[in-house]
């Protein structure tokens, strides 16, 4: 909960990956708050008041996962909403000639996205979600200490650069500092 809040403020990409990991930890504990308390909350080293806050946070996530039918797979609507915001920003940045660096970074990443999507089979996801799925997969591989090929490392490095740029632009947009407008024309400057 505290980590999620910090990541949400500082890096939206890390926030999404963290929340996907939280969803998986909840699933790994059978959506059982008692198991989550024993395996996660009680080991956190937090004082009693913060452990209680954390317990309530996990309980609310479990409740949402049950209501939304994502106890086995998938993502919570709150996480999909942020991903959708990133997709909308991505489309806006690509359509705006004032962001050539972003467009160039996207087109450097696109071959990797196409390759990943071709390997996904029938599961069709958008470009941004494909990038996040790849980053999350890499995170899981690292946690499991699995061998990572040089080609995979190269692909992840490019995807990371692209998503880092999108995340930076997301926070600038939230602060209303991304799109600077000329007062007279209303056009981007």
Name the nearest CA neighbour of 109 among 161, 151, 153.
161
Residue 120 confidence (pLDDT): 77
Residue 3 confidence (pLDDT): 83
Does residue 100 share a domain with residue 55? no
Considering the domain boundaries, does residue 179 fall inside one?
Answer: no
Considering the domain boundaries, does residue 185 fall inside one?
Answer: no
Does residue 156 share a domain with residue 100? yes
Does residue 137 share a domain with residue 99? yes
Name the nearest CA neighbour of 66 among 55, 81, 77.
77
Contacts of 107 (CB under 8 A, 6+ apart): none
Number of domains in the chain: 2
Residue 187 confidence (pLDDT): 47
Residue 181 confidence (pLDDT): 54
Residue 121 confidence (pLDDT): 73
Does residue 87 share a domain with residue 61? no
- Alpha-helical regions (H) of 70-180: 77-95, 100-119, 127-143, 150-174
Considering the domain boundaries, does residue 164 fall inside one?
Answer: yes
Question: What's the average pLDDT block by block, 10 residues per block, for the chain (189 residues)?
Answer: 83 96 97 96 92 96 98 96 97 97 97 90 85 95 92 95 98 91 47
Residue 113 confidence (pLDDT): 95
d(CA 121, CA 152): 18
Q: Which domain holds residue 43?
A: 2-68
Considering the domain boundaries, does residue 182 fall inside one?
Answer: no
Does residue 28 share a domain with residue 109? no
Name the nearest CA neighbour of 22 among 14, 117, 128, 95.
14
């Amino acid at each position: 909960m505290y980590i999620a809040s910090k990541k949400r403020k500082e890096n939206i990409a890390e926030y999404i990956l963290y929340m996907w990991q939280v969803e998986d930890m909840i699933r790994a504990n059978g959506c059982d708050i008692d198991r989550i308390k024993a395996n996660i909350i009680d080991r956190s080293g937090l004082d009693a008041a913060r452990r209680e806050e954390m317990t309530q946070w996990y309980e609310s996530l479990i409740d949402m996962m049950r209501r939304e039918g994502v106890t086995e797979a998938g993502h919570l609507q709150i996480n999909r909403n942020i991903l959708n915001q990133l997709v909308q920003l991505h489309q806006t940045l690509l359509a705006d000639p004032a962001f050539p660096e972003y467009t160039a970074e996207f087109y450097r990443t696109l071959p990797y996205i196409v390759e990943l999507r071709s390997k996904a089979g029938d599961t069709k996801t958008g470009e941004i979600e494909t990038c996040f799925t790849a980053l999350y997969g890499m995170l899981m591989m690292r946690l499991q200490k699995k061998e990572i090929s040089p080609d995979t490392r190269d692909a992840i490095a490019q995807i990371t650069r692209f998503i880092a740029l999108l995340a930076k632009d997301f926070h600038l947009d939230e602060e209303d500092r991304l799109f600077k407008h000329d007062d007279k024309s209303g056009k981007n400057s």
